Amino acid sequence: MFAPSFLLNHLFMSFVRHDGSPQLAMLLMISGSLTNIVLDYLFMYPLHMGILGAALATGLAPTISVFIACLYIFLQRHGFHLTRTSFQISQLLTILKPGLSSFINEFSSSLVLVVFNLLILNLEGHIGVAAYGIVANLALIVLAIFTGVAQGLQPLLSRAYGQGQSQEIQYLYKKGCYVVLSIGICVLCMAYLLSSHLVALFNHENHQTLQLLADEGMRYYFIGFLFIGYNYLTISLLSTTNQVFSAFRLSLLRGCIGIIMGACLFAILWGMTGIWLAFPCVEFITMLIGKFKFSFRHFLEISK
């Protein structure tokens, strides 16, 4: 139940957002998230359904957003329209190619989670895995912010690219970089100033080893947020300017190959500290590659 409703929800939200209704897309996301929270509580506690209730709530919540989006698509006037068309493999590939980098970004989160858990389990046991769980859950919140910035900027970049406005592309991209850099600095400052308090929210038993590992993890791991926003924007720009395979390669480097190789190597060299540092190091290297290999001159030449 979860997979179809989740996929339809993302598909319809993308449709609505690119159709000139970003406010409604935000409403769809908020309504689905709030519904999930309410149903989680209702199914797990008053109805005593346990984990099954949590899974059921997660599967049902996106249907609310899907229903609202269907009303918009079928009842409202909008720029995009559903039309009958013949199925062609070439068209399917044209649709899939721009989404390759986004697929890698989403897929890599699960892959990295598995690899990191296995590495940490060998080094620090279950306490280490619990510490990584705390850091990873807090990191997911920040990643969602950067994803939102990149997805919000992508339609604007796409419109400027379609109109051949190279200067507008450069302006939007630079503004986006300023935004993500500001967010990264704020997040890193919070990690250093509030890490012990944030970890304590998950450490009700006041386990000292867990507290120390997670606190160290936040201070090292969150350095990567100085660079990941830039990488997200660069990948989004490459996809928007019809450089899908370049975007795919960068996504594959930072999300799969680079982070896995880096984590394994750093774990051998520096143990747990190396695992924490693998994420910022790979993001930094990806940023350098994106900066020097895909310069603004290259972007502007493509847009002409």
CA 15 to CA 21: how far, in whole Å?
9
Read off the pLDDT of residues 44-102 as tens digits, 9 standing for 90 and up. Answer: 888 888 888 888 888 888 887 778 777 777 776 566 666 777 777 777 777 777 778 87
Q: What DSSP character marks residue 98?
A: G
Between residues 21 and 176, the one the model is more confident about: 176
* Residues 188-210, mean pLDDT to the nearest whole number: 93
Where is average pLDDT lowest: 93-102, 170-179, 236-245, 278-287?
A: 93-102
Q: Which amino acid is at 66?
A: V
pLDDT of residue 138: 94
Tokens 């006041």 belong to 206
Query: The whole model's pTM is what?
Result: 0.83
CB 119 within 8 A of CB 187: no
